[in-house]
Structure 1
Amino acid sequence: MTRLRDRRLSSTLSEEEVRLLTRPTELPPQPWRYTVTPNLVDSLVRIADAAGQMTAAPLSYYRRKELEARAKLMRIIWVVGGSFRSVKLEEVEAVLGGARLVEKREPIAEAIRRAAIVEDALAHYSTARGSSDNRLTPELAMAYERASQGTSSLREARWLAYSMRERGKLLDLNKDASKVPPSVKAMFDWTNQDPLVSKSAVLRAATFYWGLKLLYPAWRSVSVVLHHELRVGRVDANGLLMLTEATVAQHELLDTARIDLLETDEGDLTKYFELFTSALLRVLWERLEALGRVRDNEEHLPWKVVAPPDALDADLYEVVERLGQAGSAAIVAGLGKNAPPLRTVQRRLQKLVSDGVLAKRGARKNAVYTLAGRDGSG
C-alpha cells in the first residue's frame, strides 16, 4: 500500500517530496539485509563508550531523580504538543498530580493522561524486577501504541486512583494488546533471529523505530520504543534521554526513520543504520555535556543534599514525586502496607525538609510536602 497523493500538488513539489508522499506504508519483503560497514562499527563502539560515561556520571541520587523526572515531563509535553501547541509545563505537572484543568482545557488533560500512561508503563516494563529479559515484545509495542490513542478507563476519577496507587498497568488497561498484526510480528521475528541485531540494543531500537514509524505514521509517541530498548540495553540506563526534537541532534535522530531512502524501502538497512547510529551518538554526546554542567553545579551544594539516601528517604522521595504534593497521611498510604508509623514518617519528612530535599507548606498536622524547587514558590 502507498499513500495517496493529490495530482494537483505534484507540480509544486520536488521529486523527493513526491516520493515521500507516495512512499509505501508497508514493510518491504524479507529477508532484510545490511552491511557491517566501518562507519557503523565506529558509531556502535563510540555509542558504547558514551553510554558507559552516562551510566557512571557521578550525580547524586536526588539530582538523578530530578533529571529523570524532567526528561519524562519534556517527553510528555512534546507528545501532547503535537496536537495542542499551547500545553504548558504547569498543566502537565498538575494533571500528573491528579488535579483538574478548566473545562475548555480538558482535551489537553486527556492527552496528558494518555502520554503519562505510556511513560509510566515505560518506567515499569523497562525496569521490571524478576524478569530475565525486559526487551520490547510485539505485544508491549502494540500496547504502547493503543494506549497512546486513549482508553475509556482514563476518566478523571479512574485516573486519580491510578496515578496515586499503582503504576505501569498498561497491559491491564489494554486487554486486546495481544492482537499483534502479522507485519509487526514478522519484524520482531527478524530482529530476534538476526545474529547481530538480536544482540545490539541500538540496532534493535533502530529496527523497531523504523518499522513502527512506517506502519503507524500518525503515532506521535512512537519514540517510546527507542527509550524502552535503549534503557533495557543500558545505553540510557537511568532514563535521562529526552528525544523531543528540542535540539538539532534529537531532530535528526527522530527523523531518520522517515528519510526517503530507496535502499531502506527495498529492504537494505545499511544506510539507515549508519544514519541512526551517527545521530544517536551526537545525542549522547550532547546529553553528556549537559550532565557535566549539572555535576559541576553539584560540587558547590551541601553534603546533605547530595548524600545518598537510605531506603526510607528514597521511598518518601519517590512517593512525593509521584503524587506531586501530599500530606503525611497520603504519603504513608503511598508507602504501602509495610509503611512505618505516621509519627516516624512525619519526623523523616521534617528531616528531608531541613536538608533541602523537600519543601513544606502549612503547619505540621496539615502540612503539604512537595519536592524542593517544584512547589511553585520559585
Structure 2
Amino acid sequence: MTVAAAGNSPGWLLQLIRTRADWTRRQLLAETGLSRMTLFERLDALFRAGLVHEAGPAGPTGGRPAALIRFADQGRVVLVLDLDHHTGRIAVTDLTGRSLRERELPLDVAGPPGRVLATVCDAGAALLASGADETLVGVGVALPGPVSPVTGLLRPATVMPGWDGFPIAAFVGGRWPVPVLLENDARAHALGEAAERPGTTPLLAVKYAHGIGAGLVLDGTLLSGFDGAAGDVGHIRMSADAGAPVCRCGRTGCLAAYASGYALLRRRGVTPSSSDDLAVRLAGSAGLRDGARLLGRTLAGLVALVNPQTIVLGGALGRLPPVVDEVREAVRADALDRLTGDLDIVPSTAHHPAAVGMAALVVGQVYAPAAIDALLTPPPRS
C-alpha cells in the first residue's frame, strides 16, 4: 500500500522522508506510487529549499550505487522556555528534543509578564549565541497555566495573575522571527514522557512540584481539552467541609490546597520561592505522604476513565520513592483490579521531558506538510 492517498505534495513527501534515514529514490517511487517525473519535481523543490540532502551511497547493489536521501536536520535547533512557578529552564535542543545547552534561573512567574519573558528571552539569546552553525526553527514556551487551543493565548491561571490575554507568542516572536508555540507545562511534560516510551498508550503523566498538573497522551496525540484546560487535576475538589484549606484559586478543598509543594511549605510556615529544594525540605515528611495518598486517590478516578497503560510521576516531588509508593498503593486500593493489574506506575527518569515535548510540538508545526507546501509556494505576482 502506498501513501499517495495522503497527498503527493512536497510537504507530504518530506513527512515520509522524515520517518527514516535510509530512503533511495527507487524506494520513494515504490512507497508513494508517484510517477518518476512527479517525484523528482517534488524532491528538487525540497533540495533547493535545503530540506533534504544526499547522504552517500546506499551500499552495494550490483550496479551504480543509489544515493541515500535524508531529512536535512543538521544544525537545526529549537529554543525551549520552560517556566515553572519559581524557576525557568531554558534549553536549546536538536529536533528530537535532545538538550544541547541549557540554563536554569530563578524567577517569579506571578510577576509582570513582560519582565518575566524578557528575562527568559535574554537567557535564551545567550544560549543561542554560544552555539555555532545553528539555525533556529522555532521556540516552544511551556507555562504553568491553561493555553487555549483556539486562540493560542494563556487562559486565566491562579499562579500567573495578569498573564491571561497577554500576547506571549508575539512578544517572543519579536525576538526571533520563527514560529512560537505555547503549551501547558504539565502537558508538555507528558508529551516528553511519551517520547521516552514509544508505543505506550494511553500514557498519563503527572508533574508534582510546587503545583500539581497532568497530561494524557493517546496514540502519540496530546489531549488539550475543549478550552486548553485538560490535566488541571490540582483543582479537583477533595473536600467541601467548612474547615477545608483555602486554595490559591480561591476555592476550598482542592487537591493542590492539601498536597501541592506550595501548600506543604506554607503549612510549615515557609514562603515558597525559587530557592526551594522541595525534595530536601519535604522528603520523608508525613505531610508529603498524606498528599501523595490524596494524589493517588485522584488518579484512581482518572484510571477508571481512561484506563492508561502507564502513569509516570515526575517533578521535584513526583519522582520521590515515597511518593511513588503512596500513589501506587492508593491507586490500586481505589481502582478496580482489572484496571490496575497490568498498570505501570513509575517515577520519571527523563532529564527534561518538557523540553522534549515542546520540541516535538514545534517540529510538528514547522515541518507539517501544509507548512512546507506554503513555504515552497511562490508568492503571487502583483
Report the TM-score range of the alignment, normalised by the length of the smaller protein.
under 0.3
Specify which structure has the bigger relative contact order, considering alpha-carbon pairs within 8 angstroms and separated by 6 or more residues: 1
More helix by share: 1
Higher strand share: 2
